[in-house]
Chains A and B, each alone.
Chain A
Amino acid sequence: MLGIWSIAKHTFAQCVRMKLAAAFVVLLAIALIVLPSQMTGDGTLSGQIRAFLSYGTGISMGLLSMMTILVGASLVSNDIRTKQIFTVAVKPLARSQYLLGRWIGLVAFNFVLLAIACVAIYATAQYMRTKETTPLGRVSISDRRKVETQIFAARRKIEPDPIDLRANVQQRIAQMQKADKYDQAVDQYLAEADNNRPMAAELLRREIEESILDQREDSPESDIFISDIFVARRVAQLQESGAYRTAVEGYLPRTDGNIELAEDMLLKQLRSEIATNRQSIAPGKTMWWDFSKINISGRELRHKAHVVTPINHQGLIRFRMPRSFACRLWRGGPVQIQGYEGRAEAINEENVLLHVRNSGSAHQSISALAAGDTAELIIEPLLQISYKVTMANPDSLSEDKFMGRWQASDGVRPAMGWPRLPEATGQKVPISMSPRLVGDNGRLRFAIHNDSQTSAGVLFRDIALMYDVDSFENNYLRASLLMACQLVYLSAVSVLVGSFVSFPVACMFCVTLIPFSLAREFLTTAAKIPASGNASLIIKMAHYMYIPINALLPDFARTMPGDQLVDGIDISWAFVGETAVADVLIRAGVAMLLAVLLFHRRELARVQV
């Protein structure tokens, strides 16, 4: 261990002496000074901060990744090229210790630079958070609310539950069997199944599936959910009409005349169309989404607010409080005043008008508060549902606006009314609601009713439920750890490659790795052999070659925390742990193991005869 430690210290000193740290800090400083002034986003404060966080983390990671590759690739290869390895390798140091020391030293150097970058970005973002004006003018309360609740937050994002069709069918069959109606139902299909009972049972199962789906015609469906039934039904329609062959032939130019591939493409297209159609809300119809595993507890905000105007006969009382606190209230949202129930009536800058529910002694107790007194306010955590509506015919100006209403309930207690939705389309819209709507079982059903004249599409992936689970600072720390994991992996790979090829080749290899890692998911899909098994030789070769590469490549697009930070989405410790295990322990570990094996057998001196 002492040998590893000595080499690691030496590597750290080497990196510092190479003036890399100085160059990095200068570039980062330039970026952080320029970015806030140039990256104005949509002009709002939230847009500015989002752009800054996105570009700031992106540029920092870009600089650090490039530096890691250049340094990591040079450490071992340059030692061999300049023969400095001669004086090190003959010391009482195993080759594995030398490599590990190099890696650890580089990782330590990366961590220091990453810490500098993260602290600088955090400090700049916090400074921007305090700005009162933007190029558009004074920061509005809605803009401030976005900053506080959608950026400087750590919100858990829950996607709607997919419909478990198989479980639903099983449940329905079990109910029929319990009522002794199952056999009777199967009998009805015997004629169609040529008296083959298993086939009749299968026909019944399909019928039940269709029945369930039809009943939920206006419910959300994902690609996962879309049953092959609909695709098969659509194919049958095309075949009956004679359009199937024509449709397949339409894809032949793109498949070099391969009919099987053309059929695959047609099926994909049909599946996509069906999925889109089944995620649109027809005029006058309602679509709902179920969310589960919601756990809101312990995230209440407490604040001592100053009374501006004492309570009046209508039960209204005005408080003054910091904007960062005021903006977490929403009109109609619940709030506790000195332990009594109330709700926000109006929020204006730092003044908030609250209505105290008249429950016996509440008014009497709160009326004791005079102007200038302080009272403890408790705001419940914010529960938001974010959705995006797209209109079926956006070209028509008259139909561009979406008219709709929403409702949320736990499915047990009586639902609230149907408040109107904003008319915005084509952008994500957050709706704030009380966390009390969530049932004890952690479930919530959210429904949208379409009052427009045309269909409105709400794709399954465009709707999510979010609520605060942690602080921005903790989330930022986890985001930094994710970035650190990437750097640890890149360090290992660059040391690995630099240990057996020259510096330029090692650099080229490692730089190529980054776009591959960013496009990992796309490449996996592209190289996937269709379920039918029909694929060209090239695709098959790419598929089998890509399996080991895929296993060793991390998914940088998934673990880059920029998007989560920008949207205030919580990065869970579980995800950080999973990334650390996959990218650091396994992938970087395998890279270092390979490096040790290769370096152990490498001759460190060259032919000189």
Chain B
Amino acid sequence: MTREDTPVIQTDRLTKIFRDFWMREKVTAVCDLNLDIGRHEVFGLLGPNGSGKSTTLKMILGLMFPTRGRISVFDRSPNDVKTKARIGFLPEESHLYPFLNAYETLDFYGQLFHQPRRQRRHRIEMLLDMVGLSSVAYRRIGEYSKGMQRRIGLAQALINDPDLLILDEPTSGLDPIGTKQFKDLIATLAMRGKTVLLSSHLLGDVEDVCDRICILYGGRQRREGSVSELLAHQDRTQITTDKLDDKTIGKVKTLVESNGREIIDVTSPRDKLESLFLDIVNDAQSQQLNTGGAIAGGAVADFLKSDDSQIEGRQVIDQLVSVVEPAGQEPEPQAPLAPAPVETPPPSQAILDELTTTAPQNAPDAPPPPTPTPTTTTHKPPPQADQSVIDNLLGQGPDNEGSN
């Protein structure tokens, strides 16, 4: 993902100090935080409880005022109405009005964005379908489970197709289906060039979806950078293949050791529990078993995953822009769509054979190594393999040359 020059969120020495009744300093929730979140980024705020994540988000949203420092969102104050028109926010808990039903809830929030009735209705139907609550759209929110409330909370955050989505503990209370769907959604939004800022305790979720992260402790910034930079073991290589027998593993071991390296661990990869769970639920749904709760949501709402022009027509877009965008403001240039993930063929048996047999001296006609495919549909670039090792395995490394 490329970062454009103008940051979406910028904080400069952002500090929040809570004081007691006598104005004595009680606790420093956030201290000298400098964030620079660009367009099209998925940015994660990580930290233990009380590290200042939620306080930072609330200051970015204008719900709290900084004690010191400066915040700008889309180059404006967080409290600017024009700024808020481009933001979607999902709080840590879905604080919704219990007397409204799901449809009314989304309709209410849609009205606050001055959306025309027809467009509002269209979006509400798509969002309800997306979060799997179409069948209970007319039940009061007060009767919803926590997870269902989270889903409707997510839907309200997306009603305006925000350019900046701020999520506070987004997967809290969601079942694995919802979590998976949420990750898909983040990926889709990221592909459309939206900016996402999220805070979470669930490191796995953050790792799956974020481009960059910032780790906070005691209100201070400890580490900040891209996920790949922070997590990659630059001194190790991992190769995943089909099941190998002991003999082949022995050959690989010999080969690796002949290059002066060591195989640290050889195991069979395990599925994630999330994958197993999703398989079971998908199976149950294919049998159409009854449930009073949320069903697996549909696909990401069309208006969120592609240009509105494809869905609602240029006329609706024009209306939306003319209503939501402040007068005189240039419309935000549409980010170029990220390239769709390319379906890659499974590793060729020929390559495996090559790996487990004596490598040819030169294989100019050999197919190029397959591009590693991410397990999720995120746009995140896969971990970079150590090219020298691969080259060696393919017999193109300097050592092989030496053996000729």
Chain A interface (Cβ within 8 Å of chain B)? 2-3, 6-7, 9-10, 13-14, 17-18, 82-94, 603-605, 607-609
Contacts and interface: CB of A to CB of B under 8 A. Distances in A.
Given A84-B97, A608-B54, A609-B55, A90 B29 contact: no
B64 interface: yes
Nearest to B65: A603
Given A87-B89, A92-B112, A82 B95 contact: yes
A90 B95 contact: no
Contacts of B93: 83
Given A92-B82, A94-B81, A604 B63 contact: yes
Q: In the complex, which of the residues B65, B85, B111 has the most CB atoms of chain A within 10 Å of its own CB atom?
A: B111
Contacts of A603: 63-65
Interface size class of B (residues with CB under 8 A): 35 or more
A598 B172 CA distance: 34
B145 to A, nearest CB: 18
B147 interface: no
Counting from the closest, the 8 A-B pairs by CB-CB distance are A92-B85, A17-B99, A91-B112, A6-B111, A83-B95, A605-B63, A605-B58, A90-B89
A14 B141 CA distance: 13
Contacts of A17: 99-100
Contact of B62 (A14, A87, A89, A607): A89
Contacts of B54: 608
Contacts of B27: 607, 609
Contact of B84 (A83, A85, A92, A605): A92
A558 to B, nearest CB: 38
Of the candidates B26, B108, B156, B324, the one having the most CB atoms from chain A within 10 angstroms of its own CB is: B108
A7 B96 CA distance: 14
B251 interface: no
25 contacts: A2-B111, A6-B108, A6-B112, A10-B108, A13-B104, A14-B97, A17-B99, A18-B99, A83-B93, A84-B95, A87-B89, A87-B96, A87-B156, A89-B63, A90-B61, A90-B84, A91-B84, A92-B113, A607-B26, A607-B27, A607-B29, A609-B18, A609-B29, A609-B55, A609-B219
A455 to B, nearest CB: 67
Nearest to B153: A87
A83 B98 CA distance: 12
B114 interface: yes
B227 interface: no
B294 to A, nearest CB: 20
Interface string B68-111: 00000000000001101101010101011101100010001101
Nearest to B140: A17
A2 B120 CA distance: 15
Contacts of A10: 97, 108
A82 B149 CA distance: 14
Contact of B91 (A9, A14, A83): A83
A603 B65 CA distance: 7
A92 B114 CA distance: 9
A605 B82 contact: no
B374 interface: no
A14 B100 CA distance: 8
B109 A87 contact: yes
Nearest to A600: B79
Nearest to B111: A6
